[in-house]
Structure formats: structure tokens, C-alpha cells
Structure 1
Amino acid sequence: MRSNNPVLTGRNAVTYYNPNQQQGGYAQTDSYGYQNGYGYTPQPQQAAGRMTIDDVITKTAILMLTMVAAAGVSWMLAPVSMLYPIAIVGSLVAFVTVLIVSMRQKVSVPAVFAYAIVEGLMLGAWSKIFEYMYPGIVLQAVIGTIISAFVVLAAYHFLGARVRGRLAQIVVASIIAYAVMSLLNLILLFAGVNLGWASIGASAGPLAWISAALGVVLAAASLLMDFEVIEVGVRNGAPESESWRSSFGLLVTMVWLYTNLLRILSFFRN
């Protein structure tokens, strides 16, 4: 199962989803090596150990609950003086964990849960900081994230929205560039230089608006790619273990969407 989303792309994924561009659409290779176009749908795999939509939903829910529980710990128990250290260190550890999980040939379930826990601690700290500064903003961001995810899902299911070909390459390159820019901005902040890339609040400059808006757009595009790789993986009989990779990809994308919506909402708050 292969996705243009770098989070869902692993070295072993090519075996299950190999979308080669051809005239008139994509050719897909199923788990037995037979190619087919969109005019032919493979018969559902009945063998045990295959990825299913229920698997992805269940595992995503488990990871979400794990992350929310960890966020609750830092939200309720962390002293105010520790919120920024937890948020910054958690962000760096979560970034490294994403790289490790994404690059592994086989999905590491413990690493996926480690990411959910670290990301939860980080989100709880950042959310508490935002809530102190702008009361009520966290609930608004959560609602906005859920609504945005359902809008993207509806666009995928009913309108046939897809991110493929040259557009997918642009999105992937933009995601990588965005991550590099965010990491560079953090390093410069430690050195006492503020580019304004990650600024929040009503005083945030144009660069902050651009970065937050771009983050939301790229997160939505990533969701579209996540949905497609899940659909094709289920149809082509990807291994059950790949449902962990898909759930992990959805979690990463949803967190990214939430944090950028949180920042955008802060721009309208004093």
C-alpha cells in the first residue's frame, strides 16, 4: 500500500499499492500482482489478516483515546512553569517519532503508541497555554477540526476529490518544506531570532497568517491522500498491520490540522 503522504509511505508499502500514472487514470496492483484500472474492482479479500475499514477505525479510535488521555495528564497535572518545556520538548520528540515510524519497513506498534502518548502530552501543554491566553479557544479548535475532517471526507466520498499526479508531488514537497521551515524557525527562536513564522494572537504578522493557512490546506490535502490509501489498501488486500500505519497517518494529520486551526483562531483574539 503506497501513499503520496510521506507519513504513510514505507519501504514495504510498494508491494500493496503501486499507483502508476497511465493515460486515462491510474493502474493499481493488487496483492496478487494483477493490475487493474478503475473500471475493474477486485473481489473483497476474505482471508484472515487483511486490512479492513473496521480495523482502521478501531485502531484510530484507540490511538485518539490514548492521545487524549495523555493530553489530559499534562492539562490537569503539569504546573504552569512546566507547560512550555513540555510543549517544546514534546514537539521535538513527536517530530523524531514520526520520522522513525514513517521510515521503518514494518510498522512498530509500540512506536505508534509512543507517538500518541508524546503527542498527547505536547498537545495538552500547548492547549493549556492557549486556553490561559484565550479562554474557550480550545473547544472552538476541536469543533473546527472535527468539522473540517468531515468536510474533507465528504469531498472525497461524494465529490471525488483526489490529490494525485503532479499535484501530489507539489503537496509532498510543500509538506517537507513546511516541516523544515518550522524546525528552522524553532532553532532560530532558541537563538533569539523571531521570524514570525509561528507567531500567535492578534499581533501576528503576515508570515504567521500564511504559515497557518498553508498548514490547514496541506493538512486537508494529506487527509485526502490518507483516505485514498486506506480505500485502495482495503480493496487490494493489504496486511492487517498496515491498518496501524494508516491510523498513525490519520492521527498525525488531525493533530497538524488542530494546531493550525488553534493558531488561526488566536489571530482573532486579543
Structure 2
Amino acid sequence: MRSTSNPAFRNLPQGGYAGFQPQAQGYQDQGYPPGYGSPSAPAGTGDRPMTVDDVVTKTAVTLGVAVVVGVITAVLVLGKDLSPYPPMIIGALVGLVISLVIIFKKTPSPALVLTYSAAEGLFLGAITGVFEMFVPGIAFQAILGTALVFITMLVVYKTGAVKVTPKLTKWIIGATVGAAGLMLVNLVLSMFGVNMGIRDAGPLGIGISLLFIGIAAFNFLLDFDMADQMIRSGTPSKFAWYVAFGLMTTLVWLYLEILRLLYMLQSSD
């Protein structure tokens, strides 16, 4: 099984996802491609194999919860009916704790994934409301930009324009770890009053944001590839919630970087 930089997938059981491969093979023997319209598993055999529809549906629900909570939070913040700081802090902390539980629990939980999504919606909605106060219209631009990057990378993956090879996978994982390390160092130094300038509205800050957007975009290729492998290996459909969670984490990172980039570009004019 190929590696991935997304923690939602890295902690899944290996080797056919905990022995589910024989079940998928049974469907292949009957002439059904695993994960693509396979019939439901017979009673007593456990969950049926994951399909593309499962991934799309679970991802849509997860994203929908975040969008609804985010829009409501942003509207309240913009209307001065809610201070942005409580939802921002609560959303960030709850999202972090829930994400760690999901990652290490290793058993799919729709409730946890949807709770994580709601927390991220609260966090993103509060931040978006603040940015929207300073730059009206920036929220729509960030959402549009995130959607375009997601669709573009999906097309790139589906058409095979960029192949997810072991070498590319290692490069993306290394770049992601490097980006996370850089942000951690910047956070620690900022606590001691040291400003590296990588988050400021200048050439360096803009360049770093563009780099992070590129890394986040390429992470979608790993997410798509891992989801495809899970479908083809006959992984139980309940694991589609892991796929939804994994895609959600990448989308959150991408949206935040695009939002920050747009703000820096417009505030530096």
C-alpha cells in the first residue's frame, strides 16, 4: 500500500485493510469490479465493499456540514452578533482533539467526522468573517479558488496527466512535512517576539502561501489515489468516512492558504 501524507489514511490497517481483500476477490469472481457497483455483501459477511458513490456521498455530507456552520458563523460575526474569537478558539481546539481521536481510533465514526466538520466550520466561519470585514468579497473568491483547485486536481488525477508514483508520493510527503515544520518553527519563534516574515503581506509571505497552496493541491492526488486503492481493494463502505475526513483536512488547509494569499495580495495594493 502506497504511503500518504494525510494522517487520516496513514493510520488505516495495512494489508488489504485488515483482511478485507478476500471479500473483494469474491465479487471479482462473480464478474463485479470491486467498489464500482458491487452488490451488497451477503448477511453475516460484514459491511459491503466501498463504492465511488459512498465516497462522494460521505464527502458531500461532511463538507455540507462545514459549509452550513461556517456560513452561519460568518454571518453572525459580520453582523456584530458574535465575537469571532470564541468560535475561532473553540472550533480550532475541538477540531484538533476530534481529529486526533479519529486518526488513532482506527474505527470509522460518522458522528466524530461530522463533529470535526462542524468544528472546522465554526473555526473557518469566524476567520472568514474577520477577513470579510477588511476585504469585502474575499470569502467568495477563496471558496471559488478552493473549488477550482480541487476540481483541477481531480481532473489531473482522473486523466492521468500526473501519475501518482512512489517517487512523487515521497516528494509530496516530504514537502508537507517540511511545510508543517516551517509553520511550527515560525509559531515557536513568534512566541519569543521573532518575526520570520513568512506570514506577512510581502514577497516572502506571498511566495510561501503560493508554495503551500501548491503542496496542498498535490496532496489531493495522494488522497484520490488512496481512496481509489481502498475502493479497488474492497474496503468496507464504512471507511468512506475516513476518506471524507482526509479530504476535509486537505480542503481546510487549502482554503486557509488561499484566503490568506488573497488578503495579502489585496492589502498590499
Q: TM-score, normalised by structure 2?
A: 0.81
- 1:42–1:235 contact (8 Å) kept in structure 2: no
1:162 counterpart letter in structure 2 = K
Q: Partner of 2:255 in structure 1?
A: 258
Q: CA deviation at 1:71?
A: 0.9
Q: Partner of 1:108 in structure 2?
A: 109
Q: Partner of 1:6 in structure 2?
A: 6
Pairing of 1:13-92 with structure 2 (within 5 A): 13-16=13-16, 31-32=21-22, 43-44=33-34, 45-48=38-41, 49-78=48-77, 79=80, 82-92=83-93
Classify 1:223/1:12 alpha carbon distance in 2 versus 1 (closer, same or farther; 3 Å).
closer
**Runs of 5+ consecutive residues of structure 2 not aligned to the other structure:** 26-30, 42-47
Q: CA deviation at 1:178?
A: 1.9
- 1:219–1:256 contact (8 Å) kept in structure 2: yes
Q: Partner of 1:198 in structure 2?
A: 199
Distance in 1, Cα, partners of 2:125 & 2:141 = 15
- 1:7–1:98 contact (8 Å) kept in structure 2: no
Q: Deviations over 1:175-233 (max 9, x none)?
A: 2232233244334444444322333xxxx133322321122111111111111112221
Classify 1:112/1:239 alpha carbon distance in 2 versus 1 (closer, same or farther; 3 Å).
same
1:175 counterpart letter in structure 2 = T
Q: Partner of 1:22 in structure 2?
A: none
Could you tell which deviates more after superposition, 176-185 or 46-55? Answer: 176-185
Distance in 1, Cα, partners of 2:171 & 2:97 = 23
Could you tell which deviates more after superposition, 260-269 or 116-125? Answer: 260-269
Q: Partner of 2:230 in structure 1?
A: 233
2:242 counterpart letter in structure 1 = R
The residue matched to 2:266 in structure 1 has which SS?
coil
1:76 counterpart letter in structure 2 = V
Distance in 2, Cα, partners of 1:245 & 1:30 = 16
Q: Partner of 1:220 in structure 2?
A: 217
Classify 1:112/1:73 alpha carbon distance in 2 versus 1 (closer, same or farther; 3 Å).
same
**Runs of 5+ consecutive residues of structure 1 not aligned to the other structure:** 19-28, 36-40
Q: CA deviation at 1:109?
A: 2.5
2:207 counterpart letter in structure 1 = I
Q: CA deviation at 1:91?
A: 3.1
- 2:206–2:265 contact (8 Å) kept in structure 1: no
The residue matched to 1:269 in structure 2 has which SS?
helix
Q: Partner of 1:179 in structure 2?
A: 180
Give the root-mean-square deviation of aligned CA atoms: 2.9
Q: Deviations over 1:57-83 (max 9, x none)?
A: 111111111111211232123447731
Q: Partner of 1:25 in structure 2?
A: none
Classify 1:13/1:164 alpha carbon distance in 2 versus 1 (closer, same or farther; 3 Å).
farther
Classify 1:10/1:106 alpha carbon distance in 2 versus 1 (closer, same or farther; 3 Å).
farther
Which structure dedicates a bigger proportion of its chain to helix? Answer: 2
Q: TM-score, normalised by structure 1?
A: 0.81
1:136 counterpart letter in structure 2 = G
The residue matched to 1:9 in structure 2 has which SS?
helix
Q: CA deviation at 1:95?
A: 3.5
1:71 counterpart letter in structure 2 = G
1:62 counterpart letter in structure 2 = V
1:59 counterpart letter in structure 2 = K
Percentage of matched positions with identical amino acids: 33
Give the number of equivalent residue pairs. 251
Distance in 2, Cα, partners of 1:198 & 1:96 = 25
Distance in 2, Cα, partners of 1:262 & 1:34 = 42
1:32 counterpart letter in structure 2 = P
- 2:4–2:10 contact (8 Å) kept in structure 1: no
Classify 1:250/1:261 alpha carbon distance in 2 versus 1 (closer, same or farther; 3 Å).
same
Distance in 2, Cα, partners of 1:166 & 1:259 = 28
- 1:196–1:208 contact (8 Å) kept in structure 2: yes
Q: CA deviation at 1:54?
A: 0.6
